[in-house]
């Protein structure tokens, strides 16, 4: 039977069953190969970019199902999912300990026992250990009475609050461990509760569990049990931005220990990680201490990979709901518009020998047909018809490398199609529905959401930055539109690269844009060919707002710091200058129709 509901609705991966995860998950690990491999990894990406789903897929229940294995032992690693919710660990009371020695010690204990509780909860809920042999269950019971008991004792828990279970059932013993670590967490909170309104020190007499002296040896012992995988234990800390600064530094200290052969730390962030310094203020560095992945940069830079991933994700979701599986048929293009574009393409191909600019007949057709069509709608006929953002390929481009930005609008489109349909199954989404939803989304992103972010900035000096960012986005979007409808040889432009060094103020505004997903950052060879320079790419989600063509390869322009200052302060004047052919420079080495070496993003992926 097919599941009811919207095939594109987004759920928290934590709540999805293993079979659903395995059904829906598209293996993206060839793009992010460091995630499932041994080693510490930071995985950065905005909310909805698929981090939690990746982590959920690594959990043992999914791994067993995906690899059709019966026993944990055959898995290459054991991954424990540890979501960090906002106020789980970041309790206000902890601020009482700031600038006191106990701060690091108690926060580390809190973090360690929090994780330990999750490890045993994972074994209970995700590892299918119910059917372990008596011998294996016995080994776990011995682990409790032996190594774990000794470590707890060494940490100061001389008398466990709960006596060891009498029976050897693994479920009973696991629950004992969970209860012990839940209790230890509660004890920390109880201590903090007493600290709430005290301005003087309060003696802490409870146990103290650190990483090197407790959590690591405990996990090593656990790893050594005969039913556990031979590979390392992965601790998947999701949304580590929600740790307070001390906890962040402690986690970095663990990364610094480089214990990944036994315990690999996989840390996801929403691009707001507080610091890369340790508790002793040392900096952790990539690649020595960890590898680092920024999902949006990878996908903004490698669109062909991204397209394939989204196609597969959509295909699986449609299949699960017993709907037509072909994404391009489910999200059809606007046929009339595509016919008109094909006609323009044909005329470019026909006149290529006489007036063509590209090396091959299709080059001109590909580069100019769609921009020409958009231009034709910007003239005197403006308002009578408009370009439709429709068709699976365009929707993928418009999601700008973040799967959530495909699924959420798709979910709305599906709901709208149901609301306007005849009650029968939805076999496709009409192009007008696609266009309406996608334009709404772009408008919401650029207007309402931007306003919300701006409102959230309490610091007046930062509020000015949002105004500057808005100006910059309008200037870039407006300028790229002017270029699109011009007769320039390269009309699809979404990026700027600096021909000199951006100053601190300009960089601050650009970084703000990156932080909130309006821009992506990459790097590219500089004008002189002597090194690399910073590049900023406008999010394709904004294409409908500025009437840009989101499809295909897009070029970039070199700018100076002073030109971007002009854009920030006087966006209209900036756009006028662009119309007059000023301020932006073509990449000098770029022969537009030759297959130049594509720009590289920071991680070496192709920029397109």
Partner 1 sequence: MPHTKTKLSELSDTLRQRFDIFICSASYEERCKSIPNAVADGGKVGKRLVCFNQRSSAVVTSNARQLLERLGSSAQRVPLDKGNPLATADNLQRALSQAGADDGDQSYLVDITTFTHESLLILLRLLQARVGRGLVLLSYSPADEYSIGLPDEEKWLSKGITDIRSVLGYPGTTRPSRKSHLIVLMGFETDRAERLLDEYQPHVVSLGFGKEGTATAAKHHRVNQLAFGQLANKVSKYNEFEFSCVDVAAVESVITAQASKFPECNVVIAPMNTKLSTVGVAGAAFRNEDFQLCYASAAQYNVEGYSRPGDTCVLTALSAEYWKEGANI
Query: Under the rule (CB under 8 A), what is the footprint of partner 1?
Result: 9, 11-12, 14-15, 47, 83, 85-93, 95-96, 114-115, 117-118, 120-121, 124, 178, 181-182, 185-186, 188-190, 192-193, 196-197, 199, 452-453, 455-458
Smallest separation (angstroms) from partner 1 to the CB of 453: 8
Minimum CB distance to partner 1 smaller for 9 or for 19:
9
User: Number of C-alpha atoms within 13 angstroms, CB side, residue 98?
Assistant: 10
Report phi then psi at 238, rounded to 5.
-95, 130
Minimum CB distance to partner 1 smaller for 437 or for 524:
437
Smallest separation (angstroms) from partner 1 to the CB of 37: 27
Minimum CB distance to partner 1 smaller for 81 or for 352:
81
Reduced 3-state DSSP string for 426-475: CCCCCHHHHHHHHHHHHHHHHHHHHHHHHHHCCCHHHHHHHHHHHHHHHH
C-alpha to C-alpha distance for 333 and 342, rounded to whole angstroms:
13
Query: What is the C-alpha end-to-end distance of the chain, expressed in Å?
Result: 41
Taking phi over 0 as left and psi of -120 to 50 as alpha, with beta for the rest, 290 belongs to beta
Q: Is the dihedral of CA 576, 582, 584, 587 positive or negative?
A: positive
Minimum CB distance to partner 1 smaller for 182 or for 505:
182
CA quadruple 425, 430, 436, 437: dihedral, nearest 10:
40
Smallest separation (angstroms) from partner 1 to the CB of 342: 40
Minimum CB distance to partner 1 smaller for 230 or for 452:
452
Q: Which CA distances in Å does 509 have to 361, 495, 537?
A: 41, 16, 14
Helix, strand, or coil (residue 361):
helix
Smallest separation (angstroms) from partner 1 to the CB of 454: 8
Minimum CB distance to partner 1 smaller for 9 or for 74:
9
Smallest separation (angstroms) from partner 1 to the CB of 60: 16
Minimum CB distance to partner 1 smaller for 124 or for 223:
124
Smallest separation (angstroms) from partner 1 to the CB of 91: 5
Q: Is the dihedral of CA 77, 80, 83, 88 positive or negative?
A: negative
Smallest separation (angstroms) from partner 1 to the CB of 96: 7
Minimum CB distance to partner 1 smaller for 175 or for 486:
175
Q: Supply 485's token pair.
A: 């409808």
Strand 493-498 and strand 555-559: pairing? parallel
Smallest separation (angstroms) from partner 1 to the CB of 593: 45
Smallest separation (angstroms) from partner 1 to the CB of 199: 6
Minimum CB distance to partner 1 smaller for 2 or for 12:
12
Are 58 and 32 within 8 A, CB to CB?
no
C-alpha to C-alpha distance for 266 and 80, rounded to whole angstroms:
10
Report phi then psi at 257, rounded to 5.
-70, -15
DSSP bridge pairs for 283: 277
Minimum CB distance to partner 1 smaller for 179 or for 311:
179
Smallest separation (angstroms) from partner 1 to the CB of 129: 15
C-alpha to C-alpha distance for 573 and 576, rounded to whole angstroms:
5
């Amino acid at each position: 039977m097919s599941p009811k509901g919207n095939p594109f609705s987004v759920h928290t991966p934590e709540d999805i069953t293993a079979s659903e995860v395995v059904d829906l998950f598209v293996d993206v690990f060839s793009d992010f190969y460091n995630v499932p491999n041994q080693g510490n990894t930071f995985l950065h990406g905005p909310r909805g970019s698929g981090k939690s789903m990746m982590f959920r897929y690594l959990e043992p229940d999914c791994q067993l199902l995906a690899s059709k294995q019966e026993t944990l032992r055959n898995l290459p690693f054991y991954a424990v999912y540890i979501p960090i919710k906002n106020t789980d660990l970041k309790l206000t009371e902890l601020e009482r300990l700031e600038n006191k020695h106990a701060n690091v010690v108690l926060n580390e204990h809190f973090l360690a026992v929090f994780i330990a509780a999750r490890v045993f909860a994972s074994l209970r809920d995700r590892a299918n250990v119910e059917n372990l042999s008596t011998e294996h269950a016995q080994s776990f019971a011995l682990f409790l009475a032996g190594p774990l008991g000794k470590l707890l004792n060494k940490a100061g828990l001389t008398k466990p609050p709960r006596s060891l279970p009498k029976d050897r059932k693994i479920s009973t013993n696991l629950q004992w461990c969970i209860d012990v670590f839940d209790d230890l967490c509660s004890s920390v909170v109880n201590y903090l509760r007493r600290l709430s309104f005290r301005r003087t020190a309060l003696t802490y007499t409870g146990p103290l569990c650190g990483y090197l002296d407790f959590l690591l040896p405990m996990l090593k012992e656990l790893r050594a049990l005969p039913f556990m995988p031979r590979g390392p234990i992965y601790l998947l800390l999701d949304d580590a931005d929600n740790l307070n600064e001390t906890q962040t530094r402690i986690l970095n200290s663990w990364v610094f220990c480089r214990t990944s052969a036994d315990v690999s730390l996989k840390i996801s962030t929403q691009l707001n990680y507080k610091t890369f310094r340790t508790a002793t203020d040392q900096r952790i560095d990539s690649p020595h201490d960890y590898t680092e992945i920024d999902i949006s940069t990878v996908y903004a830079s490698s669109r062909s990979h991204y397209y394939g991933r989204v196609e597969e994700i959509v295909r699986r979701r449609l299949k699960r709901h017993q709907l037509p599986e072909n994404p391009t048929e489910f999200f059809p293009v606007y046929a009339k518009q595509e016919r008109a574009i094909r006609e323009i393409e044909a005329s470019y191909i026909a006149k290529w020998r006489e007036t063509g600019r590209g090396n091959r007949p299709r080059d001109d057709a590909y580069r100019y047909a769609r921009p020409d069509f958009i231009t034709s709608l910007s003239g005197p006929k403006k308002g009578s018809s408009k370009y439709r953002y429709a068709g699976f390929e365009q929707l993928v481009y418009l999601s700008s490398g973040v799967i959530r930005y495909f699924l959420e609008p798709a979910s709305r489109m599906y709901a709208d199609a149901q609301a306007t349909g005849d009650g029968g199954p939805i076999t496709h989404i009409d192009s007008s529905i696609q266009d309406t939803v996608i334009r709404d989304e772009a408008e919401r992103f650029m207007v309402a959401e931007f306003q919300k972010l701006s409102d959230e900035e309490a610091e007046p000096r930062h509020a000015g930055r949002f105004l500057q960012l808005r100006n910059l986005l309008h200037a870039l979007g407006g300028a790229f539109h002017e270029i699109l409808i011009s007769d320039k040889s390269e009309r699809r432009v979404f990026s700027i690269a600096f021909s000199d060094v951006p100053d601190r103020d300009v960089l601050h505004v650009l970084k703000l844009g990156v932080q909130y997903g309006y821009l992506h950052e990459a790097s590219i060879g500089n004008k002189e060919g002597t090194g690399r320079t910073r590049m900023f790419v406008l999010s394709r989600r904004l294409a409908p707002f500025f009437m840009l063509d989101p499809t295909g390869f897009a070029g970039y322009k070199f700018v100076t710091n002073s030109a971007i200052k002009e854009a920030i302060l006087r966006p209209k004047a900036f756009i006028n200058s662009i119309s007059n052919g000023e301020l932006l420079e073509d990449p000098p080495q770029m022969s537009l129709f030759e297959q130049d070496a594509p720009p590289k993003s920071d991680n070496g992926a192709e920029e397109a």
